[in-house]
């Protein structure tokens, strides 16, 4: 069945600047062969560990999104020479664990919660003062989840209101701790492991639910002594990080928008190349396949310790499912677009244990509930999740609240809706997916950007 729709994505930048809009024309099947940009989580970590290495590190496939550019700019402000990025390639001339210099200015990390939290782990071990700040969205993100355990390690890190800006004062030394994380968060885990490189004694982090392990994999690649067993990760202080060259796989979180679109649009047949399929990231694949999605892994191999595969997806009728807390932890960034899949699946999907969604770039539970209701879907909001009754997406207006993943999720909804959809506040799409319009058009979307 051919689907017809028009989508307008309105992007808010500032009060003075005209808003960028996307006019998305009707389309049907999603087809072709594409490669989405590099993995954002791995890209951040590649730049951070590359800057701390004792020598030069070449990185290919780096995401050239605004978040990663903010990480690069911050290290340049602290004296690290970084060449590029050019076509996803950078060369980072690492200065060693203790070679960073005080920045003359506040380190502005833009919209990136990942950078804010991981930088904190690095900077509490330095001999100079630092201040970390970001945009209005980042200033609403909770930071006590890192300031409290870092303070327990002896750090002096302050967030006056519990949110950015963060003020870091040097201390004579850090000490390792044994920390049980109350919230499943790879960012918190990574911040503590990075601080542990500068601490005396072992730093151990215990997880109540599994989270992304990109930091652990990459630390090992740089020669750091690390032990991982049954929800426990322990790191020893390091003298140096050995420089290695890195290749960043395509981002599964970015691929997820096309996996859902191709699963739901009749006649679709799409291949996504060289996507990272780390087991701690594959919740979106598991959930979609439990709903009946036809997704096949091809040419599986390893790239710099990360599993990679081509993903072939074709259209299939989807059935409702239950997404519990354990599944949420492995698909936290993909839940917005999974809500679109649930909105068109047969039956009622229940999501619970997803309270962390309220602390992302926006309250993603509230944003998805409001947006899907405006598109005619029966959806009920809960403290830590949603109940979504599958139906047919209608035209309407949606606000993404400046959240890149909400914006792209509703772009997928618009491709599948029965009438025009307007999505407001999507300026930050470039933070994680530069070139979204061009790549989407390759698959069958027709998007015309304009400003109002």
Catalytic residues: 333
Whether 58 contacts 83, CB under 8 Å: no
Token digits of residue 281: 């990231």
Q: What is the DSSP letter of 305?
A: T
3-state secondary structure 328-341: HHCCHHHHHHHHHH
For residue 386 the two structure tokens come to 């949603």
DSSP string, 189-256: HHHHHHHHTTEES-EEEE-SS----HHHHHHHHTT--EEEETTEEEE---S------EEPPBPHHHHH
Name the token pair of 194: 């990075």
Those residues with Cβ within 8 angstroms of residue 132's Cβ, 6 or more apart along the chain or in another chain: 106, 107, 109, 116, 119, 120, 123, 164, 165, 166, 168
Rounded CA gap, 262 and 361, in Å?
A: 26
DSSP 8-state code for residue 391: -
> Which residues, 6 or more positions from 55, have their beta carbon under 8 angstroms from its beta carbon?
93, 94, 242, 243
Cis-peptide, bond into residue 85, ω within 30° of zero: yes
- Which of 376, 349, 352, 346 lies closest to 365 in space, CA to CA? 352
DSSP H or E stretch at residue 366: helix 364-374
The Cβ of residue 363 has, within 10 Å, a number of other Cβ atoms equal to 18
3-state secondary structure string, 107-174? EECCCCHHHHHHHHHHHCCCCCCEEEECCCCHHHCCCHHHHHHHHHCCCEEECCCCCCCEEEECCCCE
């Amino acid at each position: 069945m051919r689907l017809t729709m028009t989508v307008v994505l309105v992007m808010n930048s500032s009060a003075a600047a005209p808003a960028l809009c996307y006019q998305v024309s009707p389309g049907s099947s999603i087809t072709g062969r594409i490669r989405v940009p590099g993995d954002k989580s791995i890209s951040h970590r590649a730049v951070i560990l590359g800057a701390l290495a004792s020598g030069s590190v070449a990185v290919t496939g780096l995401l050239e999104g605004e978040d990663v550019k903010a990480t690069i700019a911050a290290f340049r402000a602290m004296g690290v020479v970084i060449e590029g990025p050019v076509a996803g390639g950078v060369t980072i001339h690492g200065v060693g664990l203790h070679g960073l210099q005080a920045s003359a200015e506040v380190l502005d990390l833009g919209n990136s919660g990942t950078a804010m939290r991981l930088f904190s782990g690095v900077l509490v071990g330095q001999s100079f003062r630092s201040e970390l700040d970001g945009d209005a969205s980042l200033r609403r993100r909770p930071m006590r989840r890192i300031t409290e355990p870092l303070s327990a390690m002896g750090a002096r890190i302050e967030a006056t209101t519990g949110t950015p800006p963060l003020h870091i004062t040097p201390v004579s030394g850090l000490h390792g701790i044994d920390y049980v994380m109350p919230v499943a968060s790879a960012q918190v885990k990574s911040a503590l492991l990075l601080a542990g490189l500068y601490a005396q004694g072992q730093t151990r982090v215990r997880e109540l639910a599994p989270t992304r392990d990109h930091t652990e994999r990459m630390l090992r690649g740089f020669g750091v002594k690390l032990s991982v067993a049954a929800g426990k990760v322990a790191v020893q202080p390091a003298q140096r990080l050995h420089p290695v060259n890195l290749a960043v796989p395509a981002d599964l979180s970015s691929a997820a928008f096309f996996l859902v679109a191709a699963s739901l649009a009749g006649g679709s047949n799409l291949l996504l190349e060289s996507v990272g399929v780390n087991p701690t990231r594959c919740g979106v694949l598991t959930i979609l396949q439990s709903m009946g999605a036809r997704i096949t892994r091809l040419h599986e191999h390893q790239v710099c310790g990360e599993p990679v595969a081509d993903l072939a997806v074709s259209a299939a009728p989807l059935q409702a499912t239950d997404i519990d807390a354990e599944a949420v932890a492995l698909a936290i960034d993909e839940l917005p677009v999974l809500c679109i899949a649930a909105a068109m699946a047969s039956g009622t999907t229940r999501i619970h244990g997803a309270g962390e969604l309220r602390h992302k770039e926006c309250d993603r539970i509230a944003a998805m509930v409001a947006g899907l209701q405006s598109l005619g879907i029966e959806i009920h909001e809960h403290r830590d999740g949603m109940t979504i009754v599958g139906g047919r997406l209608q035209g309407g207006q949606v606000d993404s609240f400046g959240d890149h993943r909400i914006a792209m999720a509703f772009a997928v909804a618009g491709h599948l809706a029965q009438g025009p959809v307007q999505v407001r506040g999507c300026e930050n799409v470039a933070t994680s997916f530069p070139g979204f319009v061009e790549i989407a058009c390759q698959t069958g979307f027709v998007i015309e950007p304009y400003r109002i």
